[in-house]
Structure formats: C-alpha cells, structure tokens
Amino acid sequence: MIEHFTTKKLLTDSECDSIIEYSLKNLNLKPGLIGNDALDEKNRKSDVSFTNYDLEFPFLKTKLLNEISNKIIVKGYDINFENQPFQFTRYSVGEFYNWHTDSSFSGPFSDRYCSVVIQLNDTYSGGDLQMRKTPNDELITFENGKGNLFVFLSNILHRVTEVTNGTRYSLVSWFTLKPNQSFKKTLI
C-alpha cells in the first residue's frame, strides 16, 4: 500500500500562476481554523478559502484523477472526489500549521482517505510540508517545486513549517473511497 507519493510538475507554471491570480481576485480569504471550526493561532496561522475550481479550471480534477488513479488502487473501491472543494491556502511570513492529521475516527472528516496538496509557487523560504511516518517516527520533507503534487494518507501526522521569507500558496483537497458496484468479491 502506498502511504505517500510526489508527482513533480503536475501543473504547469502558467496553470499555477492562473490559479493564484484567480484565487486572490475572487476568493475571500479568512484565518484557517482547526478541528470543530476553532481559531487556534498557537497551532495554525494561515489564510484559506474553500471553492470548487471545476468551472474555471476544468483540467484540475482531471489531472488529479488521472495521476492518483494510476498510483492508488484499493481493491473493490474507486477514488471519490465528489463534493470535495479545494482549499486555497496562503501562508505569509511567520505563518505555519503544526502537527495534525486530516482525518478523524468519527465526525465530518472520518471518511477522508488521502490528502492532496498542490504547491502553486516556490518563491518563499521555510514553509516545508513534512510528515511523520510510524513506527520509527521518520521525518519526511516533501520536495518543494512549483506545480508539484503531494498525496498522503489523511491519518498521517503532517505539518507546514513556518514561512521565513515570501508567501506560500497551495491547493489542498481530500478524497474518499466509494465501493465499486461492479467489483466481484470472491474467495480463493
């Protein structure tokens, strides 16, 4: 089972620039919240807005589904991006998101299977996306790169380190799994 992977340059530079420009002009960014909609600046400082980019950028989910479907296969299930908006995130100097997971055992986020992060720019310092892999608590830092896609299981601890220079922009989303109705179960 794949726990995480990176695809370099899923989006082109011009696609990333267009998404940033569109988002900054059209979205109302607000402080990022955690858990049950709590503001907690000791653990998260960033500005976010949720939106569906399907009309403005129809290539986005198509590229994601093509890439993810080729790498993540769960027998008897299909990847489900339905009703999953994107979170456009802006981290300015001094902003971060401490260790957390994107799923929970119960509640509204319990069905998240994988988290998806697309890095929209690389003109900043700090702001590293990192995850901790158990059982040996290995620290993994994802390779920065404009247009890079990072996918990892939503129950893995991860963070974004403090941005020390510039502004970091990213798109975040999640997908669930839905049973494949045509899948035949057999015993061997």
Residue 161 has phi, psi (to 5 degrees) of -70, 165
List the end-to-end C-alpha distance of the chain, in Å, as a whole number. Answer: 21
Interatomic CA distance for residues 81 and 142, integer angstroms: 23
Residue 9's region, left for phi above 0, alpha for psi from -120 to 50, else beta, is left
pTM of the predicted structure, to 2 decimals: 0.91
The residue that leads in pLDDT, 182 or 168, is 168
What average pLDDT does the segment 139-163 reach?
95
Interatomic CA distance for residues 175 and 63, integer angstroms: 14
Maximum distance among all Cα pairs of the chain, rounded to whole angstroms: 57
Query: Domains of the chain by range and CATH?
Result: 4-32+42-179 (2.60.120.620)
Interatomic CA distance for residues 148 and 121, integer angstroms: 9
For 5-22, the pLDDT digits (tens) are 999 999 999 999 999 999
For 155-173, the pLDDT digits (tens) are 999 999 999 999 999 999 9
